[in-house]
Chains A and B, each alone.
Chain A
Amino acid sequence: MSATDPTFDLDGQPVPLQPGDTILSAAARAGHEVPHLCWSEEVSGSASCRLCTVLADGRPVAACVTPAVAGQKVECRTPSLDTQRLRLLQMLFVEGNHFCPGCEKSGNCVLQVQAERAGMTDLHFEALNPERPVDASHPDVLFEPNRCILCQLCVRASDEIDGKRVFAIGGHGIATRLLIDSPSGRLGDSALSVDDRAAHICPVGALLPKRVGFAVPIGQRRFDTEDTRG
């Protein structure tokens, strides 16, 4: 980085930017953590989860879809934003059925690690305990809607990477849900293949390749650290 390269300021740190960058993509490339659930560099941004909300020159924006602007002052880790993130995470937990102790995604789960990093120690809100039947109709992929956070990563991956458009978001408000493009509405009747990127991009344990389960031992999971030891 030379003195003339364009940068923006992220919590006091200069972040270089390239044409087409969003605040989040530039920050991620420079090794800065902007909390997020629904963003992946593999697909377009969707601003679904709002965990990446930052203040850009004082204006709240979703960092994953907001173009980075040279010279801009971006605030990410303010007490107010951190509290907002914590509440968003707690709402996601109570809206679904997220039981980390029995979940095979534990240790590899973005929701879990974001909650941990946000210092979440309780649900805060009343759990809704929805009843959502598991869709195990696909021979190789499990859909566990109890864990779906409606991040749309599978929607975008199926659309933009796999070219299949297997998934969509339907309904409104609390009834919003992931739709599957098949005559029965079930995964087994859809065009999804276990080799599709959409079958692997889920940040939580909602879409999973079958029969993998707990194959990765504790200590070698994505978010395990030296301190991961029970």
Chain B
Amino acid sequence: MDTRPLETAADPKGLRRIAIDPLSRVEGHGKVTLLLDDDNRVRQARLHIVEFRGFEKFIEGRPYWEVPVMVQRLCGIYPVSHHLAASKALDRVAGGWPVPPAADRIRRLMHYGQIVQSHALHFFHLASPDLLFGFDAEVDRRNIVGVAGAFPDAARQGVMLRKFGQEVIRITSGKRIHGTGAIPGGMNRAVDPAERDALRAELPQVLAWAQDAVTLARRLHENLPARYADFADTPAAMMSLVGRDGAMELYDGVLRLRESDGRIAVDGFDDQCYRELIDEAVKPWTYMKFPYRRDLGVDDGWYRVGPLARVQNCDFIPTPRAEAARQAFVAAHGGQPVHTVLATHWARMIELLHGVETVAALLDDALITGGPLQAEGPRQRSGIGMIEAPRGTLIHEYEVGDDDLVTRCNLIVSTTHNNQAMNEAVRAVALRYLDGETITEGLLNHIEVAVRAYDPCLSCATHALGQMPLAVSVRAADGRVLDHVLRSSTGELLRDGPAHDAEAAQ
């Protein structure tokens, strides 16, 4: 399905465009616009991120040691990833890279706790209602409360898995959310043995729940109605960090890029040189940049990050249960690359299982309870920190002046990497399910389902418990608005309401 012409209609008569610079990272509110011709055929489909946050700008001028805590406020779902990516970048600035082994283990523990809690939150709280009840089920059931009523065991396991991950974060950072554990050059705390033991005691049950989660995700995927077999099938290259041995590696590794057909294009690439591999393009209709592979250019160089990419990009997962689940995933798809975005949920639960197994191994590591926690060395002027956040590759880059204040900051978050891929998914869904149709709430949710598979922040920050505020405008080819539907954060479907400011300006 060639969706590329749908990015911009061939004859966008009557449309005015806006260009805003500088662009920065966003989290939250999403908007989709469609352009239809006189026959209601889709001529243009875009996912817009219409909020401007400007984090990169207000980090400039701040002392570098403040940054790992400040940047956590980018996100309420995966603050730990920002905390650790910034810390890894600023370890280098402080001359403290690599950090001592104890600090490395404790940071990893924090990170894998984050993987567990974030993946559990996304799958159970945000995505599972669509999968359990159907994309166009009654809207008042499609939320975690509905799941808790109809599938209480699954809902409870989701809550408890997330709680376990949050506790791992708490014992390593001091708080379940927005703690302070990592500092440039290391950690400010070790793990208290009593708190470690309390979590260890929960492991058998948590491992069983994680295993069940993989089973559930697989069952839901394989039982999807036939009409969704090719839902948002968007072949894309896949990028992630991997270990030097090709293992799945979420905290620190080398970059690997795999073509959509499975061939490895780039391997063992130093994350400190990422600028040689990718660049970012700007489009005037969204606040989110479009990263692309330099060797292929803006149009052809887009790629996918996140669980679906990672599970297929690695050669193996270095924990036994998750590796068995990965092999089952590969076998179920005949060894062929998978690009239907709903498979992301299955891959995500494999990673959740890997996260629990890794937490279990780290809790057994005596290093987490003590030892040197901070490294020192010659001060540097810049640093890059790259990590595999729950949603995908996360890059923090800083330049710091001699006065210790940050002079430049560049953040490429997972959603940004996936910008084009999400737009492609929206277009694929629009063509397959909305083309020529009258828009209904259920059809709207099809678009959400595709976006949601990529981006738990987008579906959560503005869309508590499965209700993403989403605006869809249907325009004639001459720019006239034929239909404008806004789904509010309470799930209410509103027509004839005012368009969003950014949209009205187009």
Contact = CB atoms under 8 A, between A and B. Distances in A.
A213 interface: yes
A230 B189 CA distance: 16
A210 B405 CA distance: 11
A142 interface: yes
A216 B63 CA distance: 17
B183 A102 contact: no
Interface residues of B, number: 28
Contacts of A215: 183, 188
B66 A136 contact: no
B179 A218 contact: yes
Contacts of A211: 65, 94, 404
A137 interface: yes
B337 interface: no
Contacts of A216: 188
Nearest to B172: A217
Interface string A184-204: 000000000000000000000
Contacts of A125: none
A219 interface: yes
Contact of A136 (B63, B94, B178, B183): B63
Interface in A108-162: 133-134, 136-137, 142
Contacts of A214: 65-66, 68-69, 180, 183, 188
A217 B403 contact: no
A230 B177 contact: yes
A142 B174 CA distance: 26
Given A102-B66, A104-B66, A134-B63, 16 more contacts: A102-B73, A103-B66, A104-B69, A133-B61, A134-B61, A134-B405, A136-B401, A136-B403, A136-B404, A212-B65, A214-B183, A215-B188, A217-B189, A229-B170, A230-B175, A230-B178
A12 interface: no
B469 interface: no
A65 B170 CA distance: 44
B173 interface: yes
Nearest to A99: B70
A171 B390 CA distance: 51
**Interface of chain A, helix or strand or loop or mixed?**
loop
B63 A210 contact: yes
Contacts of A102: 66, 69-70, 73
B180 A136 contact: no
Contacts of B68: 214
Contacts of B176: 230
Contact of A213 (B173, B183, B401, B403): B183
A217 B189 CA distance: 6
A217 B173 CA distance: 8
Contacts of B66: 102-104, 213-214
A101 interface: yes
B165 interface: no
B170 to A, nearest CB: 7
B456 interface: no
B94 A230 contact: no
B30 to A, nearest CB: 25
Nearest to B94: A211
B70 A217 contact: no
A212 B178 CA distance: 19
23 contacts: A101-B70, A101-B73, A102-B66, A104-B66, A133-B61, A134-B61, A134-B63, A211-B404, A214-B65, A214-B66, A214-B68, A214-B69, A214-B183, A217-B180, A217-B189, A218-B173, A218-B189, A219-B174, A219-B189, A229-B174, A229-B175, A230-B170, A230-B176
